[in-house]
Structure 1
């Protein structure tokens, strides 16, 4: 026989409050934080918004009631639905300021957020929530007009992280940039999969990009910049980096076409002086002068912890040029170098300059170029194992336990296999 567990005292208390509007409002002043959020969520999800507890706040605020027992200052809906009392950012003191509500927001046209919709409607109705704050904003796909209407109800100076993952064309991104400039406390910005209008002139393109980059001047707290498949970046990366007023800690540029002038400026600009994480995955570096990479690594040798140069087309001469600087990267923990065709001799030197580093813990390297030259099938196991065995002996000689993997990519099908020596 199936037996269901009796409801807990917590569940009974919550059910009682949901069924009794007057009791909910009266209990609001002394409501424990453990029950406030479950009560709030249940009320909204069951479309009992009239007893979502926020109506009780309306009544208390209207009467200028705030007793010493009132502990609630921040309703934090951004991190596992926690409620807190110490996460208010420094701002001007206001007498009997309304409760600050913090939430994360994902904007998708077909999947509206039920909780945020409820909160936004209260803001539009001017009910006790003029301080609706968003820490993390992710825009997946939505019309700009809808985004504008939503962002009007959010305090943009509270936003700390933004992700724009849309197939927007350049004019659309330029229109969104004015909102970006208001996010003065932004620390992380992710931009991916933007398109470029093929018929646009170089002059018009430059004007639109200048509109975008001019907003970055206002982002004095920006520390992480992630750019993935941003098609209009070529020839204008220097303009973006020059707009940054503080050095970045993390810079990811993935699958973006960059000009030689972009890369040359990148290796010298002040905003890349103190990078901790640098990813140039799928960015072609083959034609870049080896000295540029050397200069860049020399400048970040005291801070860089993660370096990703996967599938960059780096050549033997470029690797040889950067080895001395790479050997001085005292904080380097991980190096991703797969997909680059380098010889066995250069690969061995690369291992000898990185694996012995004190903080080095993980490396991903390609199989040597000879594996591709000596057989019509680079996935020939016997051919690869011969080189893997030689590489294993080198790692044993270096005598430092590390996580090291070697990768082999089929030039015909693109399938990658990893080998643990």
Structure 2
């Protein structure tokens, strides 16, 4: 039977302070610096807003990572913290005398709370404190004249009360506050609301932007003027902007000009590293323009559920901005009707850098995959490949596996079950599946020592599962 250790004096003191708010607030000026973080966490967890308000006003550190504690938004807690900021800024202190310089509202991990929590008895050594300050670089914030507030925004249909309050508070204090949004997601939000949001934020603070909206072309072009200001944007995701936005055959000159104006903004994105287009189609000419406008090499390119032409593949293979790709995904992009050589050239150009290759659901056939094998075998840095849902025979799959002999860094390999595993209606022949997949695995083992490998059928239309072989056979529910 274990005996529970009695509470320490520090824990007893904090428990009393939490029970007596007036005492807690009056004691803050005498409270040791190292006790502020654990006391703040206690007040936060118990939603003692008066204590939080008073603690923020005398916060002894340059950095307050509030978002790490606030997993779900709570308006009264946010109001209390921002009231504390107001109290701090109303004090007649020189900027260099104010301790708090950065308020982080993002729900991201930060070791601040872990380090200041110290050991189990609540103690935190002086050496640990010094190491923490040195490691987190808090001195960088010491000379800021305005408080920097970091936030991520996911805007869905309308502003919630938490977001609306923060934006209104920041708008009214623009001379004292720098509100910076690092990651912004926009889902079907009216453009006038977006305009109000971007008037409060500094557009050049946005590093990740996701647009998933039903905007018309004219609205998209209006937004392009804000995209022009996002000079530090590193990641851009465009998801089904509008079902007719990028239809390009027989379109009017005005629509062509709208698309060209939007695409031209990519020339301003000097920090862009990741570009994802999901369900968005550009014309061959606009695709060529887009990759010509890019000023810096991309690390990640993802094109999903889009239709590509032969000219599009040519643009991809010839673009200098893609020659250092680390991650390439063409999931659900129909390649069956396209000549494979431009794609071969693209793989060859990224052979020295490519780490992941996603070709799931591309409808490739034997002749196309065979044409890619010489280039694929040179991609020696690959760690993951995905060829699920392509129409490949046993013979070509064996050839593919032999061509991976030099790909020693592969940690995950996903291959389709061969064509011989299906009947004329596309139903799985379980006898063939159980025989051919182990044969393919044996072929791979003779070439090198694989780590994580699986062969899988297409998704069953009835149960939405696959039959998978990865040294043992796992059947979909319909086949069990």
Q: Could you say which TM-score interval applies, normalised by the shorter chain?
A: 0.7 to 0.9
Provide the secondary structure at the position in 1 that maps to 2:467.
strand
Once the two structures are superposed, the pairs formed by residues 208-227 of structure 1 within 5 Å of their partners are 208-227=258-277
Q: Which residue of 1 aligns with 2:203?
A: 156
Structure-1 separation of matches of 2:456 and 2:271: 38
Name stretches of at least 5 consecutive residues in structure 1 with no aligned partner: none
Asked whether the 8 Å contact 1:108–1:139 carries over to 2, the reply is yes
Asked whether the 8 Å contact 1:234–1:262 carries over to 2, the reply is yes
Asked whether the 8 Å contact 1:73–1:86 carries over to 2, the reply is no
Measured against aligned partners, the alpha-carbon deviations of 1:345-400 in whole angstroms (never above 9, x if no partner) come to 11111111126512111111111122235x65532211211211211221231240
Task: Give the root-mean-square deviation of aligned CA atoms.
Answer: 3.4
Name stretches of at least 5 consecutive residues in structure 2 with no aligned partner: 1-10, 26-47, 113-132, 472-480
The 1:398–1:81 alpha-carbon spacing in structure 2 relative to 1, beyond 3 Å, is closer
Aligned equivalent of 2:54, options 6, 24, 29: 24
The yes-or-no answer on 1:100 pairing with 2:158 is no
Provide the secondary structure at the position in 2 that maps to 1:409.
coil
The 1:103–1:11 alpha-carbon spacing in structure 2 relative to 1, beyond 3 Å, is farther
The yes-or-no answer on 1:281 pairing with 2:311 is no
More helix by share: 2
TM-score normalised to structure 2 length: 0.75
Measured against aligned partners, the alpha-carbon deviations of 1:162-197 in whole angstroms (never above 9, x if no partner) come to 011112233222211111110100000011022215
Structure-2 separation of matches of 1:342 and 1:36: 51
Q: What is the CA-CA distance between 1:209 and the residue it aligns to?
A: 1.1
The yes-or-no answer on 1:353 pairing with 2:441 is no
Aligned equivalent of 1:236, options 270, 282, 286: 286
Q: How many residue pairs were aligned?
A: 407
The yes-or-no answer on 1:201 pairing with 2:248 is no
Once the two structures are superposed, the pairs formed by residues 90-169 of structure 1 within 5 Å of their partners are 97-110=145-158, 112=160, 114=162, 116-126=163-173, 129-169=176-216
Provide the secondary structure at the position in 1 that maps to 2:422.
helix
Q: What is the CA-CA distance between 1:225 and the residue it aligns to?
A: 0.4
Structure-1 separation of matches of 2:469 and 2:354: 26
Provide the secondary structure at the position in 2 that maps to 1:131.
strand
Asked whether the 8 Å contact 1:343–1:368 carries over to 2, the reply is yes
The 1:211–1:378 alpha-carbon spacing in structure 2 relative to 1, beyond 3 Å, is same
Q: Which residue of 2 aligns with 1:57?
A: 88
Structure-2 separation of matches of 1:156 and 1:174: 16
Provide the secondary structure at the position in 1 that maps to 2:262.
helix
Structure-1 separation of matches of 2:146 and 2:314: 51
Aligned equivalent of 1:387, options 425, 428, 436: 436
Q: Which residue of 1 aligns with 2:95?
A: 66
Measured against aligned partners, the alpha-carbon deviations of 1:230-269 in whole angstroms (never above 9, x if no partner) come to 1455652222111111110000000011222111111111
Q: Which residue of 2 aligns with 1:403?
A: 452
Q: What is the CA-CA distance between 1:202 and the residue it aligns to?
A: 4.0
Provide the secondary structure at the position in 2 that maps to 1:402.
coil
> Which stretch shows the higher mean deviation, 196-205 or 40-49?
40-49
The 1:347–1:35 alpha-carbon spacing in structure 2 relative to 1, beyond 3 Å, is closer
Measured against aligned partners, the alpha-carbon deviations of 1:197-249 in whole angstroms (never above 9, x if no partner) come to 57982422321111111111111000000110114556522221111111100
